[in-house]
């Protein structure tokens, strides 16, 4: 569900990621990105609304938190 701010079924995404390299998107936030990466094992992640302070306005602190969370995965 990239671009919607809603998460997808990470177990299904994990099955896809076993077969082909994929980017995981949709509903990722600094709070849930570690779990998402551990479950899915994607090639990469994409974030937009999960690091916004309001629609279309990115929050630098949320971006830093997101990056820090990704660096601490598994």
**Contact indicator for 38, 13 with CB cutoff of 8 Å:** no
pLDDT single digits (tens) 54-71: 999 999 999 999 999 999
For the chain, how many structural domains are there in total?
1
Question: How many alpha carbons fall within 13 Å on the CB side of residue 46?
Answer: 11
Q: Identify the pLDDT of residue 8.
A: 81
Residue 4 lies in a domain: no
User: What are the tokens at 42?
Assistant: 């994607």
On whether residue 39 sits in a domain, the answer given is yes
Q: What is the pTM of this model?
A: 0.87
**Mean pLDDT value across the chain:** 92
What domain range includes position 66? 10-71
Q: Which residues of 26-53 are buried (b: 16+ CB within 10 A; e: fewer)?
A: bbbbbeebbebbeebebeebebebbbee
Out of 3-7, 31-35, 47-51, least confident range: 3-7
What DSSP string describes 53-72? EETTEE-HHHHHHHHHHHHT
In the chain, % of residues over pLDDT 90: 85
């Amino acid at each position: 569900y990239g671009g919607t701010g809603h998460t997808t079924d990470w177990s299904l995404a994990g099955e896809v990621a076993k077969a082909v390299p994929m980017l995981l998107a949709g509903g990722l936030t600094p709070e849930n990105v570690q779990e998402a990466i551990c479950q899915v094992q994607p090639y990469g992640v994409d974030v937009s609304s999960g690091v916004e302070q309001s629609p279309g306005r990115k929050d630098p602190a949320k971006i830093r938190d997101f990056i820090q969370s990704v660096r601490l995965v598994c």
